[in-house]
Amino acid sequence: MRVGLGQVQVLKAAGLTMLMASFPAWAGGQATTHKVKSAAATQASLAQTRQKLEQQQTQVKQLQDTVAKQELDSKQSTQRLQQQDQTIAKMQQELQALQAKQPAGHR
């Protein structure tokens, strides 16, 4: 069977049409695969980001607790110093009162 030039062109055109028709399905499959991989990567990235956020929140909480403790320590130290200052002032007044009662030569 001999195929004429016109028939060859028709066969080429039919083959090309079939190839082109199958390309979107193949490309769509690749796009779907890419989307699935992209979604999985996004989920992994999201999980990592959430884990980092939790770690940083824990670190912030620890720092807040440390600052609160330091503020409490500072407040207590300030109160102790004020109490000591009052005690010193009272003792100085008592000393001055005792010195005022003593004769001038015994100071």
Tell whether the model's pLDDT for residue 103 goes beyond 70.
yes
Q: Which residue has 């001038």 as its token pair?
A: 104
Q: What is the pTM of this model?
A: 0.50
Query: Does any domain span residue 107?
Result: no
For the chain, the domain total comes to 1
Assigned token pair, 84: 């000591």
Query: Does any domain span residue 54?
Result: yes
**How far, in Å, CA of 36 to CA of 15, rounded?**
31
Query: Does any domain span residue 56?
Result: yes
- CA torsion sign for 34, 35, 41, 44 is negative
**How far, in Å, CA of 55 to CA of 53, rounded?**
5
Query: Does any domain span residue 16?
Result: yes
pLDDT of residue 66: 97
The model's pLDDT over 48-91, given as tens digits with 9 standing for 90+, comes to 999 999 999 999 999 999 999 999 999 999 999 999 999 999 99
Print the domain residue range for 88: 5-101
Assigned token pair, 18: 């079939």
